[in-house]
Structure 1
Amino acid sequence: MRIMAFDYGTKRIGIAVTDPLQLIATSLTTVHPEKIWEFLTDYLQKEEVETFVVGKPLQMDGTASESASHILGFVRKLQKTYPAISVVEVDERFTSKMASAVIAQSGKKKSKRQEKGLVDTVSATIILQTYMDSKTF
């Protein structure tokens, strides 16, 4: 079963998934928040997901950021809509900066590096990898 991670934003949600053996985190896509439930319904008909990982936006001092209320609503709806799938929140501080750095190091042209959807999917992948690294096997 896969693990799916979300970098939630009010304009786009970056999504990443693991392979079925949960060894590798991979960028999947970016979805508009209004389309996320339709996307998940379609995806979950084809693939089994055991855990949702949601990036939790925190301030430098560890308190919730302004966007935390949007994420809380998203997390609650995930839990209510998919009660059999566990939901875990992971600190997402610096993921967008890390994603931009990874994209820059990949040799992409500046126009591609500034593409917000790419940053969001890479951020979701970093969130997923952070979660995977924190799990004890």
Structure 2
Amino acid sequence: MARILAIDYGMKRTGLAVTDDFQIIASGLTTVNTKELLPFLKNYIEKEKVELFLVGEPKQMDNTPSESEALILPFLKKLEALIPNIPIKRIDERFTSKMAFQTMIDSGLKKNQRKNKALVDEISATLILQSYLYSK
């Protein structure tokens, strides 16, 4: 088997999470400056086997796309063109940022550490990935 890589796409930063080779455990990978995301992904798949990109799909409470979806769609087209052999699947990411922040509190991180937005993005990607693994 190969890994699944989850992407919590953001305007400035993008959180990434990845499974182990057996797709059992979701772990935070890193947070990347969004401008450097495509080269990072290209480099990553040259070193690791990835069978699926899982990209968060931001939605409003009424199930309509959120405003940030307009930023994600062009990225998806570029990703598909750059790495056409790895499929892309979307997954609802509602509440992941709030859940990530709560996870930071629950794990005992100090207030100063919880201000680290890059960590919130990475945890959000991990939650998206974990949610997908539970649904499989």
Could you say whether these structures have the same fold, taking a TM-score greater than 0.5 normalized by the shorter chain as the test? yes
Q: Report the equivalent of 1:42.
A: 43
Separation in structure 2 between the aligned mates of residue 67 and residue 81 of structure 1, nearest angstrom: 22
* Matching residue of 2:94: 93
Distance in 1, Cα, partners of 2:82 & 2:113 = 35
1:1-137 correspondence to structure 2 within 5 Å = 1-135=2-136
Is the deviation greater in 120-129 or in 68-77? 68-77
Local SS of the residue matching 2:7:
strand
**Worse-matched range after superposition: 72-81 or 108-117:** 72-81
Distance 2:44 2:54 in 1: 16
Is 2:42–2:83's contact at 8 Å kept on the other side of the alignment?
no
Q: Which runs of 5+ in 2 are unaligned?
A: none
* 1:59-78 alpha-carbon deviations (Å, 9 max, x no partner): 00000111101111112222
CA distance in 2 between partners of 1:2 and 1:25 (Å): 10
- Gaps of at least 5 residues in structure 1 are none
Q: Where has structure 1 moved over 4 Å in runs of 4 or more? A: none
CA distance in 2 between counterparts of 1:76 and 1:134 reads: 26
TM-score (norm 2): 0.97
Aligned AA (1:21): F
Residue-pair matches, total: 135
| Structure 1 residue 117, shift from structure 2 partner | 0.3
CA RMSD, 1 decimal: 0.8
8 Å Cα contact 2:57/2:90 also seen in 1: yes
Which stretch has the larger CA shift, 109-118 or 71-80?
A: 71-80
The Cα offsets for residues 65-110 of structure 1, whole Å up to 9 and x where unpaired, read as 1110111111222222111111000000000000000011000111
Equivalent residue of 2:5, what SS?
strand
CA contact (8 A) 2:31 2:118 kept: yes
Distance 1:70 1:63 in 2: 15
* TM-score, normalising length: structure 1: 0.96
One-letter code aligned to 2:17: A
CA contact (8 A) 2:12 2:35 kept: no
Amino acid at match of 1:111: N
